[in-house]
Amino acid sequence: MSERPHIAWSVRALKSGAAFALGLFLSAIALHLVGHPAAEKAALLGVLALIATPAISLAATALEAWARERQTAVLALAVLAVLSVATALALFMSR
Among 36, 50, 59, 66, binds another protein (CB under 8 A): 50
Closest approach, Cβ 63 to another protein, in A, equals 14
Rounded CA-CA distance 76/56 in Å is 11
User: What Å distances lie between residue 41 and 16, 22, 36, 56, CA to CA?
Assistant: 20, 14, 10, 22
Among 7, 37, 59, 63, binds another protein (CB under 8 A): 7
Closest approach, Cβ 10 to another protein, in A, equals 7
At 1, is the secondary structure helix, strand, or coil? coil
Residue 40 binding another protein, by CB under 8 A: yes
